[in-house]
Amino acid sequence: MTRETEAVITGLQEPPSRILVLGGDATGARLAEKLADSGLSVVLLGSNSNSSMETIPDGLLTDVTGFVHDYTAEIATANGLVTEHFTHIVCAQPARVEARFKAYGLEPSSQVVSLSEFLKRDGLNDALQSKDRFHVAFLCGLRGSSRPAAFDGILRGIERLQQSDRPVIFVFSRDLHVAGANLESRYRGARERGAVFFKFSDDLPTFESSAGVVKIHFNDAVLGSPMELTPDLLVVDEEYSPPDLAAVARLIPSSHRFQPFIQPYSPRFAGMLTPKAGIYAIGPARGVYENDLIASDIEAAPTFLRSRVDIPGYPGPAVIDPVKCAACLTCMRTCPHGAIGLGSPPEVHAGSCFRCGVCLTVCPQNAISFRQIPDEYDIGEQIRSTLTRTESASKIVVFLCSRSAAQAYVSALSQLPETVGPVVVPCAGAVDERHILDAFMAGALGVLVAGCFDGNCASIYGTTFAGNKAAATMESLKDIGMDARLVRMVRLSSNNAEPLIEAVQELTRHIGENAHGSD
């Protein structure tokens, strides 16, 4: 049993958790009810619920501080500010939905309505009710980006209208986003029942408004002639954007990299995870707007959260030496996972530290180290021992990110020369200028820093930092009259060692040429 699994199992017997669900519509309420049903203690903010859980329907989260199991939230309510404590926070607010009136140059009226407005209505307005036959036009992604969620709404509207044979239905669209559950077959169905779809690439329809009536002008490529249509009802589609997550984003120093969402768009952040322990994202907060995918998040949430509720963090978090620390707070402002709290010295929260080592390299005082002793990531010791083992004249030290390059290195072992000495680091972001120079001091003739591609780093900008450090070291080498090209940053993924093999070959060649050049 792994340490992590063990912790989960024992942790589950004592769940003193109190989970804050940030809601705002039925989605938040449904999620909170699901969590409560599974035995978790839940407080729902911004939505009503019929179940017996604690709710603050008119509450708004204005500020939050702290760490997993210890969040302090400031909530604005009708009765003023209240302060509450939570163990975990789930962002399940609804998407912001805005009709594209402005983008199309339209004004809402009895003829021109938004899709949500149209779907909310029980029936047609009186003017249409009295007509034997009438035209309804739907606009679908003619400006901005569209998504399956919007097309799903349009199809719902069409399917409802098609229950009667009085409406004649037109859809004006660019790409139809049918990549959702059953959307393609529903689209075919709508067409077979008579809805007319006009698709455009660049020659988009225009709208003319006179005496309060909107006319659509468009060119149909197939018919090859300009056409016009004055619909009795014009349904305008909507743009989706994530809810306001600023209060929670402030907890995560790396969030500027993935705002307005609270989850980086990266394979490293599957499910509801965010870079900060105890903060989770559901649906729109992570850029998912489709009903069926939101439902999926909600169904997964209780188990997903439960299995992560009591993880005590990675073993051996970073520790700050109070004697060396100058309390400059650089670590706190940089930690990608928001694991460092205010203090003198600042405090690393063990349950939030992902052990990436980024703070170790940004600290100007070298005051931060990993607690676990012996440290499996003792970089200095690794450099010494790897160079002792490497039996060749042209030794190359390769710093390997444990999350990508280390796997790639193992798979490429047979294709790498024996001159390569591996040094595994938790994240490439843990490699400092001084480590690279240490490697040269210990006898390396070249150094590679191998990390993830930007956008794939589990510590968001660890790999960016690594690239910067490598570049800075190259500058330093140049300053002291050494060959700057003896240091390189290489980016790769765990399943593709090719860039590493190429970089080693190139560096080896370069070292060889250099040696001859100095003869």
Partner 1 sequence: MSETIVGKKVLVVGGGIAGLTSAWELSRLGVETTLIDQSPVWGGHLARFSCKAVETCKTCGVCLAEDVMERIYESSLIHLLLNTSVTSAKRESRHYSVCMTSRDAAPMPDGVHLADLCPVQNALVSYKNGFYLNREHCLYFQDESCRICLDTHPENQALFHPETQQLESRVDAVVLATGFETFDPSERPAWGYGSVRGVHTAEEMEPALRTNEWSAPAGSTVAFVQCVGSRDKRLGRNYCSRACCAYALRMANVLAAKHGTKVTIFYMDLQSMERAATLTSTEMSRLFEFIRARPGSITEGQDGRPVIVYSSQDGKPVSAAFDKVILSVGMSPGHSTRRLSEIFGVHTNANGFLGPNDEGVCTNLPGVFVAGTAQGPRSINDSVSHALRCVGRVADYLASEETRS
Q: Kindly tell me which of 238 and 438 has the beta carbon lying closer to partner 1.
A: 238
Q: Kindly tell me which of 59 and 141 has the beta carbon lying closer to partner 1.
A: 141
Q: How far is the CB of 266 from partner 1 (least distance, A)?
A: 6
Q: How far is the CB of 287 from partner 1 (least distance, A)?
A: 3
Task: Report the distance separating Cα 427 and Cα 358, nearest Å.
Answer: 8
Task: Report the distance separating Cα 171 and Cα 197, nearest Å.
Answer: 5
Angle between the N-to-C axes of helices 498-517 and 405-412, in degrees from 0 to 180, rounded to the nearest 10: 80
Q: Kindly tell me which of 79 and 225 has the beta carbon lying closer to partner 1.
A: 225
Q: How far is the CB of 387 from partner 1 (least distance, A)?
A: 20
Q: How far is the CB of 435 from partner 1 (least distance, A)?
A: 24
Q: Kindly tell me which of 83 and 201 has the beta carbon lying closer to partner 1.
A: 201
Task: Report the distance separating Cα 266 and Cα 323, nearest Å.
Answer: 38
Of 397, 333, 331, which is closest to residue 366 (Cα–Cα)? 331
Q: Kindly tell me which of 28 and 167 has the beta carbon lying closer to partner 1.
A: 28
Residue 432's contacts (CB-CB under 8 Å, 6 or more residues apart) are 360, 361, 469
Q: Kindly tell me which of 302 and 380 has the beta carbon lying closer to partner 1.
A: 302
By DSSP bridging, strand 340-341 and strand 347-348 are antiparallel
Q: How many CB atoms lie within 10 A of CB 304?
A: 16
Q: Kindly tell me which of 76 and 311 has the beta carbon lying closer to partner 1.
A: 311
Q: Is the peptide bond before 260 cis (omega within 30 degrees of 0)?
A: yes
Cα–Cα distance list, 461 to 88, 254, 277, 427, 496 (Å): 24, 7, 17, 10, 21
Assess contact for 334 and 373: CB atoms under 8 A. Answer: no
Name residue 348's beta-bridge partners.
Answer: 340
Strands (E), 124-269: 134-140, 167-173, 196-199, 206-210, 213-220, 225-229, 233-236, 238-241
Q: Kindly tell me which of 53 and 320 has the beta carbon lying closer to partner 1.
A: 53
Task: Report the distance separating Cα 151 and Cα 167, nearest Å.
Answer: 19
Task: Report the distance separating Cα 249 and Cα 256, nearest Å.
Answer: 8
Q: Kindly tell me which of 168 and 181 has the beta carbon lying closer to partner 1.
A: 181
Q: Kindly tell me which of 302 and 341 has the beta carbon lying closer to partner 1.
A: 302
Per-position b or e across 10-46, b if 16+ CB within 10 A of its CB: ebeeeeebbbbbbbbeebbbbbbbbbbeeebebbbbb
Assess contact for 318 and 355: CB atoms under 8 A. Answer: yes
Q: Kindly tell me which of 108 and 417 has the beta carbon lying closer to partner 1.
A: 417
Q: How far is the CB of 26 from partner 1 (least distance, A)?
A: 18
Nearest-Å Rg of the Cα atoms of the chain is 29
Q: Kindly tell me which of 109 and 145 has the beta carbon lying closer to partner 1.
A: 145
Q: Degrees (nearest 5) of the Cα angle 467, 470, 475?
A: 125
Of 212, 208, 232, which is closest to residue 135 (Cα–Cα)? 232
Q: How far is the CB of 514 from partner 1 (least distance, A)?
A: 26
Q: Kindly tell me which of 55 and 146 has the beta carbon lying closer to partner 1.
A: 146
Of 24, 35, 23, which is closest to residue 87 (Cα–Cα)? 35
Q: How far is the CB of 175 from partner 1 (least distance, A)?
A: 4
Q: How far is the CB of 114 from partner 1 (least distance, A)?
A: 21
Q: How far is the CB of 79 from partner 1 (least distance, A)?
A: 35
Q: How far is the CB of 393 from partner 1 (least distance, A)?
A: 21
Q: How far is the CB of 502 from partner 1 (least distance, A)?
A: 8
Query: Residue holding tokens 């049993």?
Result: 1
Q: How far is the CB of 518 from partner 1 (least distance, A)?
A: 33
Q: How far is the CB of 414 from partner 1 (least distance, A)?
A: 5
| Token representation of residue 463 | 């790999």
